[in-house]
Chains A and B, each alone.
Chain A
């Protein structure tokens, strides 16, 4: 069994109890946040191909198949690492998976979603999560976890983290938003089934249909520009058939020459009768809907191991050779046509602006007439408006890990969006996120207090000005901020801020009981890591060692007493009223008692929710602070009562 610990295993930790004792991966919060904001690739449906897939692999659609291959492309999570299944002819990547949670290039994360039509028809800004949905999901998830926790009794901090991040991603939406472009598809995969005789004409039809979606779909949103989505044909064929291989080669050329569209080929329908197959683990999800779907439809998909490697190679090729260069090209274009003129002295100076004709070809923001959303003053910037293009430029720079550029553009946009609070709030949010993601190692206590905190406060204030139905967005925004703060190196400064924000969520009573307890545990974690930089591990009080030291000292004293040696002298030297020496260096510079209090409160809440194992683990973590105190031995005391109840 593989002991390598990947991002996927962290997110689906419930399925890997053997990893529960692992340490918490470094900067995991940053990775979770980045993953929910990675570029989207939508997979268009093809009925004939989907039927063929259903017959051959029992997979509903090709879109469903690709969803299993999301995340950081070089991790290749689905491939069992103990076997060397690498295709000899495949594109070799120079990087090994063993350091999968470290040193990764953030720009190579991708998410696979449904077809653009589905995204438009099902998801919209109006389909907003409710806290009850989240709570019912958490209830179900924790219910599934209880028997596994019974079998693996050792309390795991990693599992608690994983549960928290599960909760965090349930709040992340994958809806197409008019306020940012993170969930807008960057690439559209247009699959073709060569085995069923689909050829150039079908490809042409599919492309025309795709390019005309904005004309054919009634509710096609104005904030999406179909030309900003790179179409790529995926030609699925049988490798054993010479004819098919030749037609794939010919089609690739003709698609490029005549339709100007790139294509990739996958030998998806090659029979691998005698070869080893791999059962795919559940995909990494980035939204509540997907998680609920996965839990309610547990499917087991078996794919030949060779095909698995082949699919990964193809995806790597699409991302590295097509998607990233396409994004770079677009960024350069928008930079030259929108950003540079915006930065010029003529645009930014009021005096010079008078000499420029007010008429321009750019579309401007206008009110939306949406019968489902009758909110007054709901403004929309069309996809080709300079403001939205700038926003897209910033978002794409963020996706490609150019946080510095993203930050500067968000900064520019905050001025443009001054009078549009709905656009301003997410803009400020991502401005803060890009600041924390990009400059994480050089952020000082002063920067946190003078720049980061005011920026966060302003973003939250802007969100609060909006309707109550968007309250979960505020929570998501606060959780993102607090996560990023907690992953900074100087936790002594950043943790209290994170605690303040998390306490705000608690006080707002917007979440259900399960989510509330998870937040309590997060506050406990923030206090646990709140340690002054001057204190290192050596100075921290270690209860077990302390006990041992006391015991050995007592034993030594009793020995001396038996021998009649200087017992009185020892007592004379020992002043019990003096400050305890062993933790003097860390006294006041940690928050372990606070941590224990929040663990105790969380335990109490878990008991009320009948989650005994969760409660037991909280008590286990709270115990070191209370065990020695007479307080914990009071029969009517909370700690004693809970300990007895759970033992």
Chain B
């Protein structure tokens, strides 16, 4: 079970989706906390945004966002950035300061799978952004976007 959200530049969620199965669903008390867990993770995301060296112990594998200035490695994917009572939180930062954050109900982050998911969603997001009728920070209500993200999630997670 996963809770995925795209956060705009002023901390506003512009897209939210829950990927669950009949067997694996969030408990009601966690479900209502998910948006707030994501919001609290923004503190860590903002910290990593300005880091060149990995500073967080929990994030030793990925490092900060600014790292790419001196290396050829991709930098948008930040890996596991936070945790909250058995839940893991992973993050992805776009060059336009939009944050992709996902709560992993199983408590672990599979970096390969998650990274690939984020990059594919990023591609979808960029396509949405190119739509002349879409303004940055507006909620993404396009059903095609939603269905594509869900297809991605099914292929990658469930």
Contacts and interface: CB of A to CB of B under 8 A. Distances in A.
A629 B39 contact: yes
Contacts of B10: 576, 580
A481 interface: no
Interface in B1-43: 9-13, 29, 32-33, 35-37, 39-43
A577 B97 contact: yes
Interface residues of B, number: 29
B137 interface: yes
Contacts of B128: none
B158 interface: no
A577 B137 contact: yes
A630 B12 contact: yes
Contacts of B32: 636-638
B96 interface: yes
A601 B45 CA distance: 21
Given A576-B137, A593-B40, A506 B96 contact: no
Interface string A587-604: 111111110110011001
A223 interface: no
A601 B33 contact: yes
B157 interface: no
B97 A579 contact: yes
A577 B42 contact: no
Given A588-B48, A630-B12, A638 B137 contact: no
Pick from B12, B46, B84 the residue with the most CB of A within 10 Å: B46
Pick from B10, B48, B96 the residue with the most CB of A within 10 Å: B10
Interface string A545-572: 0000000000000000000000000000
B47 interface: yes
Contacts of B47: 588-589
Interface in A589-635: 589-594, 596-597, 600-601, 604, 625-626, 629-631
B49 interface: yes
A639 interface: yes
Pick from A590, A594, A625, A626 the residue with the most CB of B within 10 Å: A594
B85 interface: yes
B46 A588 contact: yes
A538 interface: no
B33 A588 contact: no
Contacts of A576: 9-10, 136-137
A600 B43 contact: no
B33 A593 contact: no
A596 B40 contact: yes
A576 B12 CA distance: 13
Contact of B12 (A579, A629, A637): A629
Pick from B11, B84, B137 the residue with the most CB of A within 10 Å: B11
Contact of A506 (B36, B42, B85, B136): B85
B33 to A, nearest CB: 7
Interface in A420-442: none
Contacts of B96: 577
Pick from A507, A593, A630, A638 the residue with the most CB of B within 10 Å: A593
A589 B55 CA distance: 12
A594 B12 CA distance: 16
A631 B136 contact: no
A589 B45 CA distance: 11
B134 interface: no
B36 A597 contact: yes
Nearest to A587: B46
B119 interface: no
Contacts of A637: 32, 35
Nearest to A506: B85
A631 B32 CA distance: 11
Contacts of B97: 577, 579
Given A576-B137, A579-B97, A631-B13, A588 B49 contact: yes
Contact of A600 (B29, B36, B84): B36
Contacts of A631: 12-13, 35-36, 39
14 contacts: A576-B9, A577-B9, A577-B136, A580-B9, A580-B10, A588-B44, A588-B47, A590-B43, A593-B39, A594-B43, A600-B36, A629-B11, A630-B12, A638-B32
Given A507-B85, A631-B12, 16 more contacts: A503-B85, A506-B85, A576-B137, A577-B9, A577-B96, A588-B45, A588-B47, A589-B47, A593-B40, A594-B40, A594-B43, A597-B37, A597-B39, A630-B12, A630-B13, A631-B39
Interface of A: 503, 506-507, 576-577, 579-580, 587-594, 596-597, 600-601, 604, 625-626, 629-631, 636-639
